[in-house]
Structure 1
Amino acid sequence: MPVLAGAEPFTHSGSGRIGVLLCHGFTGTPQSLRPWGEYLAAREFTVRCPLLPGHGTTWQECNRTGWPDWYACVRDELLALLDSCDSVFVFGMSMGGTLALRLAEEFGEQIRGVVLVNPSVTTLRWDAKLLPVLSKVLPSVAAIGNDIAKPGVTELAYRRTPVRAAASLARLWRIVRTDLPKVTQPLLLFRSAVDHVVEPVNAALIRSGVRSEWLTEVVLENSFHVATLDQDAPLIFQRSVEFAQEQVGSR
């Protein structure tokens, strides 16, 4: 199926010393992370940002996929980075943060550090409990994308939320929450003060659940959910590079 213009995956081969896997969010595309990837590439990081299966095409296509498909995609990209780079980091936004945490749970010390931007591991929405039932009778609901405070900026995301795929994401959340104590890598966590998609409880669950000795939370005061395209994006980009360089230097 044709990929939407602007939704294409991207890669950059840097010096090989530091590699970064970028994971985009649910119903989103690499477009939301491209400025971050370009910032990293300009500093000679090796970067991979795949387009997750079922994304960047139609929401109907997304309903034909589930979290094992999305995870297999980012896992393959991580393995490629581990083969080519001295130190590898995983950065993720929203569901991309969920996938990043799952990778950290599986690969342990092979991942040098994790950067999360408004990651999700649960939701307080009352209708989420009905997802297993709704997914059998309701194809889609209102969109969740494009939550951005900065005027004139648009996220390339689906105009409807695929319910069957959302039910699969909820299953991934439960798995990731259960295994959070397996996350021991240094962790840099960005959280928007105002987020209309992911509630603050998500960051709290992650902070209390992981066993990372190095954990820093940064509150983004000027951005909504898609913070990598929002007003605090320069801060995210700069701090993530400093984090990776510091962790490699302290190794």
Structure 2
Amino acid sequence: MPVLSGAEPFTHDGSAEIGVLLCHGFTSTPQSMRAWGEHLAAEGFTVRCPLLAGHGTRWPDLNRTTWRDWYDSAEAELAELRGRCRSVFVFGQSMGGTLALRLAQQHPDIAGIVLVNPSVTTLRKEARLLPLLSRIWPAVGGIPGDIAKPGGFELAYNRLPLRAMASLQQLWSLVRGDLRRVHQPLLLFRSAVDHVVEPVNSAIVLDGVASTDLAEVVLPDSFHVATLDHDAPAVFSGSVEFLQRIHRERAEEVV
């Protein structure tokens, strides 16, 4: 199926010193990350933001994929960045944060990760029935556009594909079980009000990882899709300061 207009991947070839992989959220597209990617590109970094498998076309396409397909989409771009840049960082929002954590678990050479409202679980009671419900109903009402900023728009599916959601649950379980394998410097942005991902998700991540360079920043004026919301400039500038510091410290260690 053709890719929706605006959902195309974002690519910028900049410095060979620092590369950044951006991972968008579940049912979303690179549109939600484009402004962040453009900010990083303007700073001179090499940036990749792939369209994850099953996304950006029609919601039934997502039900034909699993978390392994989304992970493979991200890992392929990571491999390209690792061959091009000296320090590679992975940034992710929501499910993109889940993928960033899994990549960090599998690739210890990743220099650092930045997460925005990452998901690793849900407190919704109906989620326990998801493996059964996904065999009966293909989808339910969607979750796009949780943005406080007036006029904010997220290009995402308006339906929530249940088979794909059940696969996301499997990814959550894997990531939670391996959180101690995450040792990289980690910066986590969390919205004070998030109607999609509960605060316990960030708490699980922060309490579970082995990272010693660890920070949480609470975003007071944004909902779930913070990269398109009032606090986006703080996310963008904070992530740049983080990766520049980590890259500098890595270079000093080599010397």
- Residue of structure 2 equivalent to 1:167: 166
In the alignment, the residues of structure 1 paired with residue 67 and residue 220 of structure 2 have an alpha-carbon distance, to the nearest angstrom, of 31
Q: Which runs of 5+ in 1 are unaligned?
A: none
- Residue of structure 2 equivalent to 1:30: 30
- Residue of structure 2 equivalent to 1:183: 182
Post-superposition Cα deviations, 1:104-128, rounded to whole Å, max 9, x if no partner, equal 00001x1000000000000001111
Over aligned residue pairs, what C-alpha RMSD do you find? 0.4
Residue identity over aligned pairs, in percent, reads: 66
Quick check: 1:116 aligned with 2:118? no
TM-score, normalised to structure 2's length?
0.98
- Residue of structure 1 equivalent to 2:199: 200
Provide the secondary structure at the position in 1 that maps to 2:6: coil
- Residue of structure 2 equivalent to 1:136: 135
In the alignment, the residues of structure 2 paired with residue 122 and residue 183 of structure 1 have an alpha-carbon distance, to the nearest angstrom, of 17
- Residue of structure 1 equivalent to 2:253: none
Quick check: 1:228 aligned with 2:227? yes
Post-superposition Cα deviations, 1:168-224, rounded to whole Å, max 9, x if no partner, equal 000000000000000000000000000000000000000110000000000000000
Provide the secondary structure at the position in 2 that maps to 1:174: helix
In the alignment, the residues of structure 2 paired with residue 33 and residue 167 of structure 1 have an alpha-carbon distance, to the nearest angstrom, of 24
Q: Which runs of 5+ in 2 are unaligned?
A: 251-255
User: 2:181 is matched by which residue type in structure 1?
Assistant: K
Give the number of equivalent residue pairs. 250
Post-superposition Cα deviations, 1:140-192, rounded to whole Å, max 9, x if no partner, equal 01111100000011100101100000000000000000000000000000000
* Aligned-pair CA distance for 1:16: 1.1
User: 2:176 is matched by which residue type in structure 1?
Assistant: R
- Residue of structure 1 equivalent to 2:93: 93
Q: Which runs of 4+ in 1 moved over 2 A?
A: none
Quick check: 1:103 aligned with 2:106? no
In the alignment, the residues of structure 1 paired with residue 133 and residue 37 of structure 2 have an alpha-carbon distance, to the nearest angstrom, of 36
In the alignment, the residues of structure 1 paired with residue 31 and residue 137 of structure 2 have an alpha-carbon distance, to the nearest angstrom, of 28
- Residue of structure 1 equivalent to 2:81: 81
In the alignment, the residues of structure 2 paired with residue 240 and residue 10 of structure 1 have an alpha-carbon distance, to the nearest angstrom, of 18
User: 1:115 is matched by which residue type in structure 2?
Assistant: V
Show the 5 A alignment for 1:208-219.
208-219=207-218
